[in-house]
């Protein structure tokens, strides 16, 4: 079995010995992170916008409910009119009512969904 001529044999050192100053790396004397700093604060509304945000969300909820009611009434009208010799219109009305109900259901659980995601992101409610 032959050995590679470029690899030194075990226990031998080839080349000059290295000597000189050693470098231990930079040291930092700035501020340190302590347990008193709140690095992950919970969501907080800017001053004065809390009430405005509540009004806007209330108006959007009202708009969704009004639009949903109009949509369901429109779908009901399509079903009634399509009953006689227009089965395609009745079918469209029935399928559209499912989309309206789905949208209203999403609007109903929107705040719960957002609250759940926000609490998982901010860590609120976890032990």
Going 55 to 57 to 60 to 66, the CA torsion angle's sign is negative
Query: What's the rounded Cα separation, in Å, for the pair 109 and 41?
Result: 26
Query: What's the rounded Cα separation, in Å, for the pair 106 and 60?
Result: 13
pTM for the whole structure: 0.55
**Are the CB atoms for 81 and 89 separated by under 8 Å?**
yes
**97-122 pLDDT per residue, tens:** 999 999 999 998 988 888 888 777 76
What are φ and ψ of residue 100, in 5° steps?
A: -65, -45
pLDDT of residue 126: 46
**Are the CB atoms for 122 and 43 separated by under 8 Å?**
yes
Enumerate the domain spans of the chain: 56-115
**56-100 pLDDT per residue, tens:** 889 999 999 999 999 999 999 999 988 888 888 888 999 999 999
**49-58 pLDDT per residue, tens:** 888 888 888 9
Asked if residue 3 has pLDDT above 80, the reply is: no
pLDDT of residue 19: 61
Residues 6+ positions from 101 with CB-CB distance below 8 Å: 72
Structure tokens at 60: 């959007």
pLDDT of residue 127: 45
**31-40 pLDDT per residue, tens:** 555 556 666 6
- Concatenating the DSSP letter of every residue in 34-98 gives -TTS-SSPPP-PPTTHHHHHHHHHHHHHHHHHHHHHHHHHHHHHHHHHTTTT-HHHHHHHHHHHH
């Amino acid at each position: 079995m032959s050995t590679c001529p470029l690899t030194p044999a075990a226990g031998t050192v080839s080349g000059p010995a290295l000597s000189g100053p050693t470098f231990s790396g930079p040291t930092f004397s700035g501020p340190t992170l302590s347990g008193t700093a709140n690095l992950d604060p919970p969501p907080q509304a800017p001053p004065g916008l809390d009430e405005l945000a509540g009004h806007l969300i209330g108006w959007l909820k009202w708009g969704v409910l009004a639009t949903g009611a109009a949509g369901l009434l429109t779908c009901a009208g399509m079903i009634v009119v399509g009953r006689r010799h227009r089965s395609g219109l009745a079918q469209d009305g029935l399928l559209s009512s499912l989309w309206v109900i789905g949208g209203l259901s999403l609007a109903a659980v929107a705040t719960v969904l957002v609250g759940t995601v926000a609490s998982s992101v901010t860590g609120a409610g976890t032990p």
